Structure 1
Amino acid sequence: MLTKKEAAEAVRQAKIRTGVTWAQLAETVGRPLAWTTAALLGQHPMGEQEAERAAALLELGEDAVLAFRSQPYRGGLDTPVPVDPTIYRLYEVVQVYGPTIKELIHEQCGDGIMSAINFKLDVERVPHPKGDRIVITLDGKYLPYEW
C-alpha cells in the first residue's frame, strides 16, 4: 500500500503524464477545488467513490485509492521553516501579519480562534495593470474559547 506522501507524488506525476488539471479532478470527484487538491496531496481522507474517481482519471491503481481513503496526519512539512518559495512566502505572511490577524479577530469577535476544521479556502488570480495579483481567501468558523 502507498503512504499518503507516496500517493501525493504519484498524483503529481500522473497529472503531468495525463495532462489532467486540479479543476478537472475536483469536477470528477464532486468536491471544491481546494479541498480536492488538499485531499490528493494527503491532507484529507476521501470517500470510496471520490478516491476511485480520482484514481481512474489519473490512471492510478488500487494502492492509490486506498491511500486516498486513509486518515492523514495533517499539517506536516518536511522542514520546520518551509524552503519552497511559494510556501515560505505564506509562512512569511503569517510571521508578519499573524499578530495583526489575531488582534483583529479578538477585537471583532472576542477571545477565540478561526477554525481550520470548519474551513473553506479559495485561490484566485486577479488581473492588475501592474502585474496580476493572487487573492487567497481563508474562510474559517469563529470558535470562542470556553473556560
Structure 2
Amino acid sequence: MDKQQMTDIIVTTKAERGLTWEKMGEDLGMSPVWLASACLGMNGAPPEKAMAITEYLGLDQDVAKALEAFPTKVWDQTVPTDPLIYRFYEIAGVYGTTLKEVIQEKFGDGIMSAIDFTMEVDKQEDPKGDRVVVTMNGKFLPYKHW
C-alpha cells in the first residue's frame, strides 16, 4: 500500500465516522496538526503511533505499515488554486522576505527548522469575524561557516 492509498482509506474512514482531526488528536493524545499531516502522507509515524491510529479507526496492518513508511515530500510546484492553500502561498510571497529579515536580525544567518517543529491551529472568536491563529514553532538552525 502506498501513501496515497493509505490517505484515501484514512480520510474515507474519518468521514464515515464523522470524526475531526481535533477529536482524533484529543482521543489519541496527539497533536491534530501532526496527526493530519501523517495521515495525509507528509510525515512518517513511529510504530506505536501508527498502531494507535489504525486501531482507533479499525484499519488493518497495511495502513499501519504505510503510516510508518518514510514519506517523499513532493508537492505540486504550480501556484495552488485552492483559496485557503493559496493564501498561505500568498503570505509566503508577500511576507517571506520580511520574515527572513526579521528572523535573521534576531537570530543571525540561518533557517527555522521544519523538522524540529510544531504547529498549532486555533480559533479566536471575534465579533467582526472569527480569526484563524496559526502558531509555528521551529528550532533555529544557524548556517555553518568554515
Judge same fold: TM > 0.5, yes or no: yes
Runs of 4+ in 1 over 4 A off after TM superposition: none
2:4 alignment counterpart: 5
Q: Take 2:108 and 2:47, find their aligned partners in 1: how far apart are those partners?
A: 40
> Percent same amino acid at aligned positions?
39
1:112 is the counterpart of 2:110: yes
Residue 141 of structure 1 aligns to which amino acid in structure 2? Answer: K
Residue 10 of structure 2 aligns to which amino acid in structure 1? Answer: V
TM-aligned CA deviation for residue 79 of structure 1 = 4.6
1:97 alignment counterpart: 95
1:69 alignment counterpart: 68
Deviates more, 1:50-59 or 1:7-16: 50-59
What TM-score do the two structures reach when normalised by structure 1?
0.91
Deviates more, 1:126-135 or 1:20-29: 20-29
TM-aligned CA deviation for residue 28 of structure 1 = 4.2
Q: Take 1:27 and 1:78, find their aligned partners in 2: how far apart are those partners?
A: 31
Equivalences, count: 145
What TM-score do the two structures reach when normalised by structure 2?
0.91
Deviates more, 1:12-21 or 1:125-134: 12-21
Q: Is the 8 A contact 1:55 1:65 kept in 2?
A: yes
Structure 1: stretches of 5+ with no match in the other structure: none
Secondary structure of 1:67 counterpart: helix
* 1:56-85 Cα distance to aligned partner (Å, 9 max, x none): 2222222211110111112x2235222222
Deviates more, 1:123-132 or 1:11-20: 11-20
Structure 2: stretches of 5+ with no match in the other structure: none
